[in-house]
A and B are shown apart, each in its own frame.
Chain A
Amino acid sequence: MEHIRTPKVEQVKLLDRFSNRSTTGTLHLTATHLIFVESGTSSSSAQEVWILHHHISSVEKLSLTTSGCPLLIQCRNFRVVHFVVPRERDCHDLYSSLLRLLRPVSFDELYAFSYNPKQNDQQREEGWQLIDLSAEFERMGVPCDQWHWTDVNREYKVCDSYPRDLYVPVAASKPIIVGSSKFRSKGRFPALTYFYQEKKAAVCRCSQPLSGFSARCLEDEHMLQAISKANPNSRYIYVMDTRPKLNALANRAAGKGYENEDNYSNIRFQFVGIENIHVMRASLQKLLEVVGARALSVTDYLLGLESSGWLRHIKAIVDAAIFLSKAVTAEGASVLVHCSDGWDRTAQVCSLGALLMDPYYRTLKGFMVLIEKDWISFGHKFADRCDQLDGDPKEVSPIFTQFLDCVWQLSEQFPQAFQFSEWFLIQIHEHVHSCQFGNFLCNSQRQREELQLREKTYSLWSFLLSEQHNYENPLYSAALAERNPVLEPSTQPCHFKFWTNMYHQYDRTMHPRQSLLKHLLAVRESSCALEKTAHELEAKLQKLGVSMPSLGLGSAHRPRPQSLILGTPHGHKEEDGEQEGEGLPARSDGERTVEGSSATENSYAELQGPFGAKAEPHLVSLEFGVARMTC
């Protein structure tokens, strides 16, 4: 590829982020990846680091040192790698190649257009058909007597960041919709996103009204009236402005603003106070700075966590979602959610609120549907927020990451409520930024259609489903969800935690040395194989004329039928598993074994350095030939 000046550099050192260890190897630069291969060890155990260009958020050339020229690479998946390149020229070549590679200027340069997972057209087509949003609205009970499908946005003329298929109150005629859209920022008029069938309460979303200081729009008022009327169970609707009041007030000066309660009948207006994309971007940046520090003290960590505001923002989003969920499920009221443009905070609150209300969204498939609906189709600007193309750095913001963080917080409070584990969330996060699949490319459905993504790229969802067993939460209970469909999380600050496994996913020294999740998945897999073997053995014995009752398992330990994933054995590939016994699969990987941890990795003290060189030189006596004592 023309942008690669040096495809290979040898004798490059990879420094560990938190300790003094380093590895030497060869750096390869390909059209899609930056690859580091450790040298000197046997090929099987050599450490390899593959970094997708799209994952790189910044490349920095640090000042020259005696051992070479340091290159610091920060990735959007929170990986930070520190290379030292022996020759400055190589380093500069790498640097300038990377700068060009990590900022593609057009969509067709993205990895998704060259990625080929060896599927045929039919398989690819099936992958894209996996998620069907009209089926999803049907699942919610829409269309119904009060809500129907509208083709008003068929040509993306009313709102070019909305999907084609939209659902609105039956009472809202086309002129009302069009009129309302003209009074809403970017034409994003109120449209249905979730329908709570039990109470006939709707969650609608839109952008801010162009009310300025005094403007009104009768069609928009009618629109809200229609939403209100569509719900026979409540006399009023809530209008949630997810911004802090001050921000909304400031918008009035620009001819935008918020709904005046005097002009709209029967609305209850509520500010929520989630900060804007710029605050969130700065917050994550601060957070990563804090946790990226070496030899971090508890004090600096906690104060840094506080001053970054990250957990405060996470809590604000969860609080808003709880408000939404309570209004709908407890009061039976419909809610209209908006922020400024209605594609960031609104997406966060609507999707998280639905997740609290509807157990379906807590399943693997349901979560995909939720993301597809509230994020992809309603036009969360993934291209801008995730910096897919060389664009405005002020548009970049970790809005979707925050959503995943909120979901993780909930899964910590409700360990059995989600069919998927945090690995699923982390994998989705990985691919939102990888640009390897078509799902998250571009800013809107319209753009996606123009680029013919369905024909030219693959869908992430079918890939994730194909390795579903990796992402399952072994503790998930569908029965529990049936009994308590609505989640009511605690909002006490002490229940919000820093998500180490996300923000330190590549910093292995910080992970628990034995993974509970991995262990349980292995046990479950082993149980499935054992069940199969037991059936086969029983069949053989029955053929030999032995009746079975005595060996049946105690009913207490039968797989619980209510728990879907526990009850149904999956189609396992390893037929040969039988021969080698059905015990737990051998664990050779580093994570499960404790050898992966070492004293030196953790730097409990500077025992490595020459004695007395640190801290208390005056205490080391001269006759003590200590320097030789170190290992």
Chain B
Amino acid sequence: MEFAELIKTPRVDGVVLHRPFMPTVEGTLCLTGHHLILSSRQDNTEELWLLHSNIDYIEKRFVGSLGTIIVKCKDLRIIQLDIPGMEECLNIASSIEALSTLDSVSLMYPFFYRPMFEVVEDGWNMFLPEEAFKEIETLTDEWRLSSVNKDFGVCPTYPQLVAVPKAVDDDTLRKVATFRHGGRFPVLSYYHKKNGMVMMRAGQPLTGTNGRRCKEDEKLINATLRPGKRGYIIDTRAINVAQQAKARGGGFEQEASYPQWRRIHKAIERYNILQESLIKLVEACNDQSQSMDRWLSKLEASNWQTHVKEIVTTACLAAQCIDREGASVLVHGTEGTDSTLQVTSLAQIILDPCCRTMRGFQSLVEREWLQAGHPFQQRCAQSAYSNSKARLEAPVFLLFLDCVWQVLRQFPCSFQFNEHFLVLLFEHAYASQFGTFLGNNAAERLKLKLPQKTVSLWSWVNRPQEMERFLNPLYEPNNLVIWPSVAPQSLLLWEGVFLRWNRSSKCLDEAYDEMVHIIEYNKELQSKVNALRRQLAQLETGDGLLETP
């Protein structure tokens, strides 16, 4: 098997592992095709299993014949391995480097992973577009599911089935696709039950410098408006960025051609800038020897919190247009695969209580990220420690999760899932034994035969024994729209991700357990009291029956 060639030294004894806030472990280091394993070979001691694909960057150091490898992971953890013997150390390092940067997707671990659990409900079939659309069909007959993209010919990054206005036929869709970036014609993203308003998303219109028009495009998006009503177009780029896009054939909707639409520009940064921001933020968080002033200025310079604020604000704006203004909304940026999805998915969290449930949130990730063609494989190829000049990598999804966390923190009783679930999604988007986040779009996933060859993350996470860890004990369903505060004072640094490895979580974990305990205890008391009442009632009526004859 080909991995064997990459593994020059499969085993080294006497390796010492250092992890922050944990005791050091001495043991045997083993390299397999997909894992770095360190085991002390004693009972009751934890083993380290690290997926190669989780390794972002490694550093080597030598003191005499003792080598040290510092492993920096995509989940932002940093561990240190002291390896006796220079040759062993060099071999291990080069093997890790090779194994963590495999080119071929089909060599990735999900293709080799066999679940140790029984798949009760196959995650690959849980959130099919036709299922999601069924609910909308019960509410309105103005939309239909089109299979115009059956062979991915109209839009390579869309799924095979997309929801479009019923009044628009497939031929029109094909024409519109030629007028939108990447063929991403406007499709339905969200239907607001309360007032029938909708949110659509698309790629930018290809107006170019000479202001090209497309009647079919105008017809399509106007078909979503009620008579006499107007809508909003939220362009996730600053106006000057959108203007510049014209020179490259892109552009934005001109008022003259779209008189029923009011366009709003919001500046959400593009992916390469986000990647730099992440690198700076993580660097700031890991700098142990700094003063308060340095920390705050580095945090500021990373701009991360600004991005969070921008995205939450734009999502709230979209939600406000739909819920408060009673208007439909079209969201796009340039490609419609990054900032667009951040906005449409977060707006749904705010508007739709279903998206705040465990299952609803999974469905949202599936619908608005995976099927909507967010290029996970490109964006999550590297994380914050990589030295390679980032080109396509970007923490777009991580930023979305951060925004969800901000809302969750402000509404701690309104979400069925907890922070751990968001952290889990972050980890698995970057490195996973599951196939869910492999590939860049539906077409690639089909080609890779992921549903047949890999296990879905959802199959695992929805097993009751796993799900328990991710449920929010405070959850109480409410049907309201939740409007978060976007003041900088209300948006915190997501410690659960960014400070996760440089603090001891013991106190916080214990406090969380105590919270769970308080709530569980209350529930048990409740059922105990109910049982006692029933018993008493039975006895009393029983006595009554005995007495009457």
Contacts and interface: CB of A to CB of B under 8 A. Distances in A.
Given A475-B511, A557-B517, A604-B486, A619 B239 contact: yes
B276 to A, nearest CB: 16
Given A302-B300, A315-B292, A494-B285, A526 B532 contact: no
A506 interface: no
Contact of B292 (A297, A493, A593, A598): A493
Given A414-B507, A513-B485, A602-B486, 7 more contacts: A298-B303, A510-B489, A511-B485, A511-B490, A513-B411, A519-B412, A597-B484
A601 interface: yes
A557 B524 contact: yes
B412 A512 contact: yes
Interface residues of B, number: 87
Given A298-B306, A583-B526, A607-B317, A513 B507 contact: no
A291 B488 CA distance: 9
A156 B264 CA distance: 71
B532 A299 contact: no
Interface in B502-535: 502-504, 507-508, 510-511, 514-515, 517-522, 524-526, 528-529, 531-533, 535
A414 B308 CA distance: 27
Nearest to B486: A602
A437 B511 CA distance: 35
Contacts of A560: 517
A1 interface: no
A312 interface: yes
Contacts of B132: none
Interface in A588-621: 593-595, 597-602, 604-605, 607, 611, 615-616, 619-621
B522 A530 contact: yes
A296 B487 contact: yes
Contacts of B263: 619
B290 interface: yes
B255 A621 contact: yes
A22 interface: no
B474 A519 contact: yes
A497 B492 contact: yes
A537 B529 contact: yes
A302 B296 contact: yes
A553 B316 contact: no
B414 A492 contact: no
B528 A551 contact: yes
A526 B522 contact: yes
A477 B317 CA distance: 43
Contact of A495 (B290, B481, B503, B521): B503
Interface in A498-554: 498, 500, 504, 509-514, 516, 519-520, 523-524, 526-527, 530-531, 533-534, 537-538, 540-541, 544, 546, 551, 553-554
B275 to A, nearest CB: 19
B297 interface: yes
Pick the most buried of A298, A566, A624: most chain B CB atoms within 10 A of its CB.
Answer: A298
Contacts of A516: 412, 474
7 contacts: A291-B489, A475-B518, A516-B412, A519-B412, A524-B522, A594-B480, A607-B320
B256 A544 contact: no
A527 B525 contact: yes
A626 interface: yes
Contacts of A496: 292
Contacts of A309: 293
Contacts of A330: none
B168 interface: no
Q: Which of B285, B480, B526 has the most CB of A within 10 A?
A: B526
A546 B536 CA distance: 10
A298 B300 contact: yes
A504 B411 contact: no
B453 interface: no
A30 B518 CA distance: 45
Nearest to A509: B485
A520 B324 CA distance: 32
A537 B325 contact: no
A324 B517 CA distance: 36
B457 to A, nearest CB: 29
B291 A312 contact: yes
Contacts of A611: 262
B30 interface: no
A416 B517 contact: no
B265 A616 contact: yes
A629 interface: yes
Nearest to A545: B539
B229 to A, nearest CB: 9
A598 B483 contact: yes
Contact of A298 (B259, B309, B474, B499): B309
Nearest to A628: B230
Given A416-B510, A527-B518, A607-B317, A509 B255 contact: no
B94 interface: no
Given A415-B508, A533-B529, A602-B486, A631 B259 contact: no
Contacts of A527: 518, 521-522, 525
Contacts of B313: 604-605
B539 A546 contact: yes
Nearest to B256: A621
Top 5 nearest A-B pairs (CB, nearest first) are A621-B255, A301-B488, A493-B295, A415-B511, A302-B300
A495 B288 CA distance: 11
Contacts of B539: 541, 544, 546
B323 interface: yes
A494 B262 contact: no
A623 B510 contact: no
Contacts of A302: 296-297, 299-300, 305, 488
B204 to A, nearest CB: 16
B255 to A, nearest CB: 4
A554 B410 contact: no
A560 to B, nearest CB: 7
A303 interface: yes
Nearest to B291: A493
Contact of B297 (A303, A474, A563): A303
Contact of B316 (A512, A566, A599): A599
A490 interface: yes
Nearest to B266: A605
A442 interface: no
Contacts of B106: none
Nearest to B254: A621
B488 A519 contact: no
A105 interface: no
A504 B264 CA distance: 31
A416 B296 CA distance: 28
A413 interface: yes
A475 B514 contact: yes
A605 B264 contact: yes
Interface string A413-424: 111110000000
B18 interface: no
Contacts of B519: 520, 523
Interface string A553-588: 110010110010010000000000000001100000
Contacts of A296: 487-489
Contacts of B16: none
A615 to B, nearest CB: 8
A51 to B, nearest CB: 23
A160 B199 CA distance: 72
Nearest to A296: B488
Given A302-B300, A475-B511, A537-B533, A601 B483 contact: yes
B309 A557 contact: no
Contacts of A413: 507
B499 A416 contact: no
A305 interface: yes
Nearest to A531: B525
B519 to A, nearest CB: 6
Contacts of B478: 594
A480 interface: yes
Nearest to A584: B522
